[in-house]
């Protein structure tokens, strides 16, 4: 099914909500797996969001200005013995948009 | 011996290499690094939570398989927006377009074979048969899917039929649930999927069936399929 451009789908709304909630708990930035886990926990879903679905949504939302991302310092990842994380944060536009939308509705954006 | 979660992670990373091939280097490396990070975090978190490697592996395979349509759709958009690599990358793009369904078909065949072989001995008391005929059918379906993959270039129509013969099996329960839901009392009665394996099998079956039908429209070739 082809989606309409300029519409936030429920997964994208969930990502923004989870990102805002993480910020309220003191975590300004999040990586892909963390947000998948937050969405699963907050919606009582049985499965984590699929790789392709999640990263396609993150990519689209960054292009639309709802998220910003940066790659973490390689030395931090090396110190912890894991791959580098791509860290996302919800932008002001993203936060305003998700606060204005009802939980079950899609959101129009420019 | 590699644990199932390790194998599943490698499959997800291999798939990321396949569907990002031919894209602009920055985009390609970023997506591959992001999937590698996700798989590592998933395994680390699940090990910490005390999950068995087999459970973690199934979760990773489910996330990988269920995301394949989105990966292909993302790739199509990425190719359009960064169409600056003509030539070899176009050939790679065509290969991905023609062969993307083989991995799910292999997963489907593996699940059918493992399910069938492990159920062959029903433990019935003689004079009942010592081999479960239903399990034999499941093994035959697994072999049919493998044969279909092998014949996809030379006999695409027969290959499609062989793969479809195996693909219906994991979809039988969800289809039955759907019929019950639509024509029954308005809600799912059986609670499918019962397990993550059922979910993986159904996803693999759908993707393999779509790919096999797509492949049936191609002309037979002696070697590798010629991209359209």
Residue A107 has a pLDDT of 45
Query: Higher confidence at residue B88 or residue B194?
Result: B194
pLDDT bracket for residue B37 (50, 70, 90): very high
Q: Which residue has the higher pLDDT, B183 or B6?
A: B6
The Cα B41–Cα A33 span in angstroms is: 7
Pairing of strands A86-90, A67-71: antiparallel
Q: Between chains, do A54 and B67 touch, taking CB under 8 Å as contact?
A: yes
Report the distance separating Cα A28 and Cα A22, nearest Å. 7
Window from B22-36, B61-75, B108-122, B180-194 with minimum mean pLDDT: B180-194
Is residue B216 very low, low, confident or very high in pLDDT (cuts 50, 70, 90)?
confident
Among candidates B36, B71, B199 on the partner chain, residue whose Cβ is nearest the Cβ of A52: B71
The Cα of B96 is separated from the nearest Cα of chain A by a number of Å equal to: 16
Stated pTM of the model: 0.67
Indicate yes or no: CB of B41 within 8 angstroms of CB of A49.
no
Residue B178 has pLDDT above 70, yes or no: no
Looking at mean pLDDT, say which of A15-24, B16-25, B106-115, B167-176 comes out highest.
A15-24
Check residue A47 and give its pLDDT: 85
Pairing outcome for strands A7-8 and A86-90? unpaired
Give the confidence band of B32 by pLDDT, cuts at 50, 70, 90.
Answer: very high
Inter-chain touch B36–A83, beta carbons under 8 Å: yes
Instruction: Provide the pLDDT confidence category of residue B179 given band limits of 50, 70 and 90.
Output: low
Sequence-distant (6+) residues with CB within 8 A of A94 are: A16, A19, A20, A61, A65, A66, A67
Q: Predicted confidence band at B176 (pLDDT cuts at 50, 70, 90)?
A: low
- Give percent above pLDDT 70 in chain A: 85
Q: What is the percentage of chain A residues whose pLDDT exceeds 90?
A: 71
| A28-71 pLDDT, tens digit each | 999 999 999 999 998 877 789 999 999 999 999 999 999 999 99
Per-residue pLDDT at B6 exceeds 60: yes
Question: What mean pLDDT do residues B97-107 have?
Answer: 85
Residues of chain A with Cβ-Cβ distance to B70 below 8 Å are 50, 52-53, 56
Q: What is the pLDDT of residue B80?
A: 79
pLDDT category of residue B140 using cuts at 50, 70 and 90: very high
Report the pLDDT value the prediction gives residue A2, as an integer from 0 to 100.
Answer: 52
Average pLDDT over residues A8-20: 92
The per-residue pLDDT for range B104-120, each reduced to its tens digit, is: 899 899 888 888 888 77
- SS3 for A4-49, per residue? CCCEECHHHHHHHHHHHHHHHCCCCCECHHHHHHHHHHHHCCCCCC
Q: List residues bridging with A86 in a β-sheet.
A: A71
pLDDT at B171 over 90: no
Question: CA-to-CA distance for A49 and B169, rounded, in angstroms?
Answer: 25
Q: Which of A88-92, B174-178, B180-184 has the lowest mean pLDDT?
A: B180-184
The three-state secondary structure class of A69 is: strand
Task: State how far residue B71 is from chain A, nearest Cα, in angstroms.
Answer: 5
CA distances from B181 to B169, B175, B188, B203 (A): 19, 10, 5, 20
Q: What are phi and psi of A25, to 5 degrees?
A: -90, 5
Instruction: Please give the mean pLDDT across all residues of chain B.
Output: 82
User: Which positions ≥6 away from A25 have C-beta within 8 Å?
Assistant: none
User: Do residue B38 and residue A33 have CB atoms under 8 angstroms apart?
Assistant: yes
Compute the nearest-CA separation of A15 from chain B (Å). Answer: 16
| B40/A83 CB distance under 8 A | yes
B95 pLDDT tier (thresholds 50, 70, 90): confident
Q: Determine the Cα–Cα distance for residues A76 and B81; give it in Å rounded to an integer.
A: 33
Residue B177 has pLDDT above 70, yes or no: no
A51 and B45 within 8 Å at the Cβ level: the answer is no
pLDDT on residue B81? 74
b/e code A34-62 from CB counts within 10 Å (16+ = b): bbbbbbbeeeeeeebbbbbbbbbbbbbbb
């Amino acid at each position: 099914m082809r989606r309409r451009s300029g519409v936030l789908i429920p997964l994208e709304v969930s990502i923004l909500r989870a990102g805002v909630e993480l910020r309220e708990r003191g975590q300004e930035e999040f990586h892909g797996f963390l947000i998948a886990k937050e969405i699963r926990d907050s919606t009582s879903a049985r499965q984590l969001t699929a790789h392709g679905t999640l990263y396609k949504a993150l990519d689209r939302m960054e292009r639309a200005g709802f998220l910003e991302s940066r790659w973490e310092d390689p030395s931090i990842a090396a110190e912890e013995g894991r791959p580098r994380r791509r860290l996302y944060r919800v932008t002001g536009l993203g936060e305003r948009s998700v606060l204005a939308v009802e939980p079950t509705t899609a959101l129009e954006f420019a | 011996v590699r644990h199932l979660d390790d194998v599943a992670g490698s499959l997800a990373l291999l798939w990321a290499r396949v569907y990002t091939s031919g894209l602009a280097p920055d985009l390609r490396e970023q997506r591959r690094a992001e999937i590698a990070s996700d798989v590592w975090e998933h395994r680390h978190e699940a090990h910490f939570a005390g999950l068995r490697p087999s459970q973690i592996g199934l979760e990773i395979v489910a996330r990988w398989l269920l995301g394949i349509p989105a990966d292909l759709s993302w790739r199509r958009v990425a190719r359009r927006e960064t169409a600056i690599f003509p030539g070899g990358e176009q050939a790679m793009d065509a290969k991905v377009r023609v062969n993307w369904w083989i991995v799910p078909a292999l997963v489907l065949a593996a699940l059918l074979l493992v399910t069938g072989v492990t159920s062959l001995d029903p433990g019935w008391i003689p004079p009942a048969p010592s081999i479960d005929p239903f399990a034999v059918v499941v093994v035959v379906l697994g072999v049919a899917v493998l044969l279909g993959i092998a014949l996809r270039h030379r006999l695409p129509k027969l290959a499609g039929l062989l793969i479809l013969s195996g693909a219906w099996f994991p979809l039988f329960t969800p289809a039955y649930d759907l019929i019950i839901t639509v024509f029954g009392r308005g809600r799912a009665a059986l609670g499918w999927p019962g397990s993550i394996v059922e979910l993986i099998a159904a996803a693999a079956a759908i993707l393999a069936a779509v790919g096999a039908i797509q492949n049936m429209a191609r002309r037979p070739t002696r070697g590798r399929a010629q991209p359209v």
